[in-house]
Structures are given as C-alpha cells and as structure tokens.
Amino acid sequence: MGEFDLIARYFTRPAARAALGVGDDCALLQPAPGTQLAISSDMLVEGRHFFADVDPLTLGHKALAVNLSDLAACGAKPLAFTLALALPRVDEAWLAAFSKGLLALADAHSCELVGGDTTQGPLNICITVFGEVPVLNGKSQALLRSGAKAGDDVYVSGTLGDARLALEALRGTVPLPLGLLAQARRRLEQPTPRVALGQALRGIASAAIDVSDGLIGDLQHILRASRAGATLETALATRLVAACAHPDWSGTGIGAEKQLEFTLAGGDDYELAFTAPESAREAVQAAAKQAQTPVSRIGRINADPGLRLLDAAGALIERRYASFDHFA
C-alpha cells in the first residue's frame, strides 16, 4: 500500500464543518465571526511518550487527547486537527487500530481531521489542533496562564498521579495489584481531556494550564506568567489520587512519600490546574457540575513569588520535586 492509498483508507473522511478537508495542498477553515482560532501542537515519540508495545488504539486516543487538553486549558471549543505521521513501515492492523482510537475521540469532540502528512521514518505522531474561542467586546475569552492574582484560589480537576503510578508499575519500580494497575493504566494510556470544563470556566477562571509535566512544574508556568506565588495544601492534593480510594492501595507497599511525589510531580495527568477569585467559588462549582468534572480547591495564590508546599500539619515541605523536562 502506498502513501496515498494509506491516507485514503485510514484517514480520509468527507469534510463536515471544514470548508475543505483532506486531499488538497491545504485544508480550509473558516472560524465563525467574532471568534479567534486557538492552535496547539504536540509531538509523540516512541520510547519517550509511549512504550513500543503500546496498544495502537489507545495510542491513537492519547495522541489526540494531549492536544485537546491544550485546547481545554485555553477554554477553546475543538474544531479540527492535522496529523503528521512517520511510520517505520505500513502495518495495516496497526493503522486500523490507531485510526480507530484517534477518530473515536475526534468524533466525541466533533473535532475533524482536515489534513496532514505521512512519511517513512521512526514512529512519530505530530498533531496540530484547532479550536474556537469567542471574542466579546474586543476581548478574547481564552483562558491564559497570565491572569492569576494574589488571593485567588488554586484548583485542580479530577485526580492526579495515576498515570505516573501506572508508568512506575509498568517499569517495575513499584508493586501494584493487577486490578489497580488496570485502573491506573487507563489514566496513562487513555487520558480524558477536560474539554467541557475548560469551556465552562471561560469568564470564571483567572488563569489555567493543563497538567502534562506534573502539577508543580505546570503550576509554576502560571506563577511565572502571572508574576505571583502560591501555597498548596498537599494533603488536599494527595487525596486526589484515584488509586487512593482503591481498597488494595494499602496493600501495595507504596509509601506516603511516593504517593506525594506521584501526585505533585507525576506528569501525564491531563487535568486542568486553574485559579479563580474567592468570589467565584460558587461559579467554579457550577461550571464543574455543568461539565460533569469534579474540581478540588488545593491552595491559594500569593503576591510573594515561589511555590510553597504545606503538609497536613501546615508545616512547609522542604523537599524539591522535579518536573518533567524532555531534555533534563
């Protein structure tokens, strides 16, 4: 099967909302009047972002999910995406499963595949995603990293740490009962981008980011962009690990120290971390309810720069947690 047959068989569907989809030199998109286009690009590499033996169906899901998560963090509504794919060889079973996982998530968010590229090379998946953000009275409604103010609450959606827990169990560095591994592994391999929550938080959240490299590292992007600091009650955050609620957790031999590390610096969570004024607490919970996504208040923005972590007793935690860096 050649390059053009491959595109036709697995990646071409009639354009729905795009003015022009797959099959010409460019795709054409016409954003609605009074909107801006939000754009994000993520590249996934074998051995770095996924194991060589990963199920291609979940890989297709994840490749788009991490991009949708960036749209969510901006409060953008998904519109379309391009897919550039380097493949070592044409493996039809792999392509069928990969495109199935990819397009199922795309359909769930009405996010259309409008173009891209395929080439021979070490497995590499590069998706660029496009979303729509309203502009009201000349002001963009996009959620940015730069709007956090001293006194704002700090929130995180869903749960943290499960993806890292699965990664470490798969690497063999922590023991994990099979049922718990399956649950955590779903979070690692098929993350849920918080697309509805991001849109519901427009006009409410003062700043937002998606948690991809670990809560602490990503929150610090908000702090730097907002020229502010924050204090986190880590006891609130660590209660968020979904696995904690699992009856088998206590028998895993994973101590409180590792639990804290996975929660605060785990990475691959694809939850939203965001800030909002104290006056917006009811609005935040209403947005969470509307988006059917739990959110938890875990700290507060301070005028003093830096991120302070408090333990359950309110004492400062001195240990430093490294955020994920692709070149560190």
Interface positions, 123-152, toward a second copy (CB under 8 A): 124, 126, 128, 130-131, 133, 135, 140, 142, 144-146
Instruction: Supply the minimum distance, in Å, between the C-beta of residue 145 and a second copy.
Output: 5
Indicate the SS3 state at residue 224. Answer: helix
Instruction: Supply the minimum distance, in Å, between the C-beta of residue 102 and a second copy.
Output: 15
Instruction: Supply the minimum distance, in Å, between the C-beta of residue 209 and a second copy.
Output: 6
Binding segment toward a second copy, per CB under 8 A, in 115-123, 151-159, 226-234, 278-286: 115-123
Secondary structure letter of residue 232 according to DSSP: E
Nearer to a second copy (CB atom), residue 66 or residue 309: 66
279, with CB counted inside 10 A (0-12, 13-18, 19+), is: exposed
Instruction: Supply the minimum distance, in Å, between the C-beta of residue 28 and a second copy.
Output: 5
| Separation CA 110–CA 142 (nearest Å) | 20
Nearer to a second copy (CB atom), residue 72 or residue 240: 72
Nearer to a second copy (CB atom), residue 126 or residue 298: 126
Per-residue contact track with a second copy, 46 to 65, x per CB under 8 A? xxxx----------------
Beta strand 77-87 with 112-120 is parallel
Cβ pair 67, 127 in contact under 8 A: yes
Is the alpha carbon torsion for 69, 74, 77, 78 positive or negative? negative
Comparing CA positions, the residue from 49, 246, 272 lying closest to residue 159 is 272
Q: 274: phi > 0 → left, psi -120 to 50 → alpha, else beta; which?
A: beta
Nearer to a second copy (CB atom), residue 89 or residue 171: 89
Indicate the SS3 state at residue 104. Answer: helix
- DSSP codes of every residue in 142-178: ---STT--TT-EEEEES--SHHHHHHHHHHTSS---H
Indicate the SS3 state at residue 252. Answer: coil
Comparing CA positions, the residue from 158, 310, 161, 157 lying closest to residue 233 is 310
Name which of residues 199 to 228 contact a second copy (CB under 8 A).
208-210, 225
List, in order, residues 6 or more apart from 171 with CB less than 8 Å away: none
Instruction: Supply the minimum distance, in Å, between the C-beta of residue 265 and a second copy.
Output: 15
| Number of residues binding to a second copy, judged by CB under 8 A | 74
Q: Which position among 107, 122, 227, 304 is part of the footprint of a second copy (CB under 8 A)?
A: 122
Q: Which position among 85, 169, 188, 301 is part of the footprint of a second copy (CB under 8 A)?
A: 85
Nearer to a second copy (CB atom), residue 184 or residue 217: 217
Which helix (H) or strand (E) segment holds residue 106: the answer is helix 92-108
Q: Give φ, ψ of 217 to 5 degrees.
A: -65, -45
Name which of residues 276 to 295 contact a second copy (CB under 8 A).
none
Nearer to a second copy (CB atom), residue 140 or residue 231: 140
Q: Is 326 in the site for a second copy (CB under 8 A)?
A: yes
List, in order, residues 6 or more apart from 3 with CB less than 8 Å away: 118, 119
Secondary structure letter of residue 244 according to DSSP: G
Name which of residues 151 to 170 contact a second copy (CB under 8 A).
none
Nearer to a second copy (CB atom), residue 77 or residue 300: 77
Instruction: Supply the minimum distance, in Å, between the C-beta of residue 190 and a second copy.
Output: 20
Name which of residues 19 to 48 contact a second copy (CB under 8 A).
19-20, 23-31, 33, 36-48
Instruction: Supply the minimum distance, in Å, between the C-beta of residue 267 and a second copy.
Output: 13
Nearer to a second copy (CB atom), residue 138 or residue 314: 138
